[in-house]
Structure 1
Amino acid sequence: MKNEVKIGLTVLLAIIVAIVGFRFMRDVPVFRQTLEISAVFDRVDGINRGSLVNLKGVKVGSVSRVRLTPENRVRVTMQLNEDLQIPEDSEAHLTSLGIVEGKSIVIQLGDSESNVKYGGEVDGVYIEGVTEVLGSKGEQLAGDVSESLSELNQFLRQLNATLDDETRTSVDQTLRNADETMKILSETLENNQKDIDNAIKSASRTMMQLDTLTTDNRPRVDSLLVSLEENVSELHKVRTELEQATANLNQILDKVNRGEGTMGKLVNDPSLYENLDQLTKEMNDLMKGINEDPGRYLKHMSIIEVF
């Protein structure tokens, strides 16, 4: 083999190795084609060439280029597996997979029937991670914590000023009394544990006896309930009759008050009472006169006319 051929083969092999290495370093499949799509973000903190592109937790490609657009936005070009079907309304979310793993792009599939073609574009959405949220809110949180600590210190100072020596002594005495009371109560319960158990057993036996008594006398109880229902029904009838009699009596009294009928006239016409009273007086006088001098009233009558 001539030297020229050896040199040519060496150069060709070097070119092949360079191409393979270049594609390998860019995390691009060496022996198969890829699907190239892009997404535009307002910011791409943590994303560089070679960052992962995931779909449902599975690596499906990597970032090949990161460029600024004339509108001062960032276009990220991704190399994905050629066999992927990405709907046109899909979104590329730039998010953090974890505190250690760093940033990556997650493809959120849409519902469109049309798929993104080679060189197409999907919407980019930047999602702040936990560390970024904490960083942006750190100053506010620090101020809130400082204010809370200041209020807590002020409260403790006021509490310390309020609790003088006498108050502390009283509180300590109260706590000691409560502790002694709890000890006495515990000892009492412990000493009377048997009595308490016996009382519980007696109550249980009593409940069982009551249940047995209720079961054995259920027919009598049912009969008593039936009798009570009948008596209640009779009382209801009596109440109805009493209400009717009361209504009739009210009608009669109403007529008497209006002066209707004999009783009404006797009650409401005072002249009848006066005439009766006068007649009674005259009858008394007549009877008194007959008893005192009967001849006065019989002198004009003969015995034959009388009998």
Structure 2
Amino acid sequence: MTTKRRDEVLVGLLLMVALALALGGTIWIARGGLAKGYTMHARFPWGAGLKQGQPVLLAGVQVGFVEKVELIPDGTLDVTLQVQDQYRIPSGTTASVEANGIFGDMLIALTPVKGVDGKMAVGDTIPTGAGSPGVGQLLEKGDSIALNVRALSDEARRQFVDSGGVREVRRTVADLTKLVAQLSAVAAEQSRQLTLTQSQLRKTLSSVDSAKVDSTLVNLRATSASFEQLSRDFRETNTQVQSLVQKVNNGPGTAGKLMNDPAVYARMDTLLARLDSLAIDVRKNPRKYINLKIF
């Protein structure tokens, strides 16, 4: 191997070591570096997709990383969290697993409760909260929605295409269009008739002489007043007649005796009978009563 070839190999090895150191240093610094920390615990069900080194966020701020993940036979994962000393976990905080990007990586999100001043003790287990759905769950939901949409479209095709539902809808729309046209024609005709009626009413009102109407009203008032006066006079006359009749019926005068005394009535009847007999005798024997001599 030549000296030049050996130098190139050494430079390549140095570059690879530098890159490894840079990558390791970056990861180490991202996980806290020389900062001291304390451990907390959380439990999640199997299949959460957690692994060592994933970030831990408190209200959106990275406060540590996943130090260890242990598989428990009861179906849970015992996750050890390494939290930096300058951050304290508030009481009532819940932990959930959320997606970190679109490539399937995960993180642990710590959600505190607003207005709580207390802090959790070092080494406590953070209660598990409801996490956001992962990419797999979203894809599963999308597949379920796609299947439902496909079933709905197939049913709609059977109902509206295969069974002639579209033709019925078109026929119904055509009938509705005809009905709307008929209603519009009726409304237009009614509007025209109403306009003509209003015009005739205006002409009739304009042809009425207001002076004649006033004169007629005055005459009606005068006639009403005359009828009222006549009614009053009639009532007064009726009162007087009733008073006169009462006096005749109850009074001691001649008229009262003629109407109420039977003896006077008998004498009057006898007198009338004698007058009738005298009149008959005068017609039969006029010379007996009239003695006429002519010179």
- Interval containing the TM-score (normalised by the shorter chain): 0.3 to 0.5
What is the TM-score normalised by the length of structure 2?
Answer: 0.46
What is the TM-score normalised by the length of structure 1?
Answer: 0.44
